[in-house]
């Protein structure tokens, strides 16, 4: 950490602390909060090497205590950063400390100018506890690394840490700069009449996919066998069989997907219908028998399931006449619990059979105990005790429900191919590149929280299940489901 003096127009900022273990982009964000000059408009001079670049190595700039730096740039029609750092819960007076009781679920994210697509993506991923833990353990190979993957991962780690401690909405500026540095498409600008350029709305699914791609590369296990955290948490193993009707050829392909597609047609009314359609694939390939390109008809089956299953409602398609992604508004209902057993390969179904039977037996036993009055629910005024498999409390938390559904130890922890809905990313509007995105995330205590940029609201499960579409209200675009274990 060094202290410098920065001159901007008629103002002089003395004794500014610069963290030289972080990239210069973080320093530019600091100046943005003081001056309102967006980082991409800043010209910073006075150090070795000419103008300071976002990815410069501090060691080559000659920066030291007392360095005098000049910044050029004017504040324009850009997102307004906060003039002070986020206020943390422990710093607030007691009468202001989280009267709504929502801080335990994280914090909102400020919209920095059409960034709701990014905020909703981050809130859904923040809801995955295992991913937060992997990010907390992440350490870049070098503190001054200029690798954009490492920079974006470090920014994600820092942002998630802020969400866990802040009592006020967090401005994700460092993350946004890193995202745009790695993926320039998210820095696209447009003009409206004679006004200056503004950042365009983007597709949340593209943000989700690109961020997971980076985290898959950086969050590697301690050994090659451990693999990537993203693959371990979200990877769906698929086996596809392709058949050519002309030649009779049959080909097999295996791979990993990180989302299942729910294709939407006039016949699709439920999520399972769309997934079934999405697992079918027709494509053209070179036929060895015919010596030319020929049509192949294919279908895929799941051969291995992840702890978290993500399903994309394929609601957008490119409409050539207006040159934008138009939206399919059709209502597609989705359940609170999704069973993907029918989409699994015969081999995987055989593995799932015993855990599923054990889970059903436990559920039947629990239902029978409750009905006969032998469980805690029929205990009347008896003194309360710890929750057990004998029966649920009046309003059981997920952990209690898991205990109540625990089958014999031989199958404990095994997958059943049933997934409980835990997150929904929705879109309101008619185009992927316009409108508004928000996130609905189920918390560990069973409550649903709506994250609408910097606002947080408690919602009911019925509100979430109503996001099936069919109008201009918010409708599901990405669904996130954690496993239900035996």
Catalytic residues: 116, 436
With beta carbons less than 8 A apart as the criterion, state whether 158 and 172 touch. no
Q: Which residue, chain included where needed, has tokens 């105990």?
A: 369
CA distance 437 to 86: 24
CA distance 161 to 138: 12
Three-state secondary-structure class, residue 36: coil
Record the tokens describing residue 126, joined without a space.
């923040």
Nearest alpha carbon to residue 114 among 233, 199, 1, 204: 199
DSSP letter (8 states) at residue 320: T
CA distance 218 to 153: 7
CA distance 220 to 188: 31
Q: Which residue, chain included where needed, has tokens 């006020």?
A: 168
What does each C-alpha distance from 421 to 97, 157, 158, 446, 470 come to in angstroms?
Answer: 31, 25, 27, 11, 20
Burial letters 424-433, b for 16+ CB under 10 A, else e: bbbbbeebbb
CA distance 310 to 101: 29
Nearest alpha carbon to residue 309 among 421, 446, 168, 149: 421
CA distance 60 to 63: 8
CA distance 348 to 355: 12
Taking the mean position of all CA atoms in its chain, how far away is CA 153? 13
Among the residues of 312-411, which ranges form H helices? 346-372, 398-404
CA distance 484 to 486: 7
Record the tokens describing residue 347, joined without a space.
């081999």
Nearest alpha carbon to residue 80 among 112, 106, 114: 112
Name residue 418's beta-bridge partners: 339, 484
Counting Cα atoms < 13 Å in the Cβ hemisphere of 48 gives 8
Taking every pair of Cα atoms in the chain, the longest distance, rounded to a whole number of angstroms, is 81
Record the tokens describing residue 254, joined without a space.
């295996």
Nearest alpha carbon to residue 448 among 433, 434, 438, 436: 438
CA distance 277 to 140: 41
């Amino acid at each position: 950490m060094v202290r410098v003096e920065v001159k901007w127009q008629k103002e002089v900022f003395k004794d500014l602390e610069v963290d030289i273990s972080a990239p210069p982009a973080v320093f530019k964000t600091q100046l943005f909060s003081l001056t309102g000059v967006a980082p991409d408009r800043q010209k910073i001079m006075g150090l070795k090497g000419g103008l300071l670049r976002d990815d410069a190595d501090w060691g080559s700039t000659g920066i030291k205590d007392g360095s005098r730096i000049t910044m050029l740039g004017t504040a324009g029609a850009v997102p307004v950063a906060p003039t002070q750092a986020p206020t943390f819960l422990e710093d607030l007076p007691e009468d202001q400390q989280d009267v709504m009781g929502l801080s335990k679920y994280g914090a909102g994210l400020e919209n920095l100018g059409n960034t709701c697509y990014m905020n909703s993506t981050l809130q859904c991923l923040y809801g995955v506890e295992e991913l937060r833990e992997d990010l907390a353990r992440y350490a870049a190979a070098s503190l001054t690394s200029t690798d954009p993957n490492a920079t974006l991962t470090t920014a994600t780690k820092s942002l998630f840490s802020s969400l866990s401690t802040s009592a006020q909405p967090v401005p994700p500026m460092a993350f946004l700069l890193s995202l745009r540095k790695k993926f320039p498409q998210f820095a696209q600008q447009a003009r409206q009449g004679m006004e200056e350029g503004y950042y365009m709305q983007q597709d949340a699914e593209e943000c989700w996919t690109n961020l997971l791609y980076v985290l898959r590369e950086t969050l590697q296990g301690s050994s090659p066998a451990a693999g990537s955290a993203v693959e371990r948490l979200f990877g769906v193993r698929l086996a596809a069989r392709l058949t050519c009707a002309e030649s009779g050829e049959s080909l097999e392909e295996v791979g990993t997907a990180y989302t299942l597609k729910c294709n939407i047609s006039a016949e699709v009314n439920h999520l399972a219908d769309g997934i079934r359609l999405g697992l079918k694939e027709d494509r053209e390939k070179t036929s060895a028998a015919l010596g030319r390109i020929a049509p192949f008809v294919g279908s895929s089956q799941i051969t291995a399931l992840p702890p978290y299953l993500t399903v994309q409602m394929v609601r957008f398609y490119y409409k050539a006449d207006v040159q934008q992604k138009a939206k399919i508004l059709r209502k597609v209902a989705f359940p609170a619990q999704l069973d993907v057993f029918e989409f699994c390969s015969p081999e995987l179904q055989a593995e799932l059979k015993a855990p599923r039977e054990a889970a059903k037996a436990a559920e039947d036993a629990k239902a029978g105990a409750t009905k006969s009055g032998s469980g805690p629910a029929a205990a009347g005024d008896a003194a309360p005790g710890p929750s057990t498999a004998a029966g649920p409390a009046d309003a059981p938390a997920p952990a209690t429900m898991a205990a109540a559904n625990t089958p014999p130890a031989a199958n404990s922890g095994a997958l059943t191919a049933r997934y409980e809905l835990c997150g929904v990313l929705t879109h309101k509007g008619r185009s992927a590149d316009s409108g508004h995105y928000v996130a609905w995330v189920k918390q560990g205590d069973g409550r649903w929280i709506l994250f609408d940029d910097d606002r947080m609201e408690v919602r009911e499960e019925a509100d979430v299940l109503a996001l099936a579409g069919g109008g201009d209200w918010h409708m599901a675009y990405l669904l996130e489901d954690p496993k239900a274990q035996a």
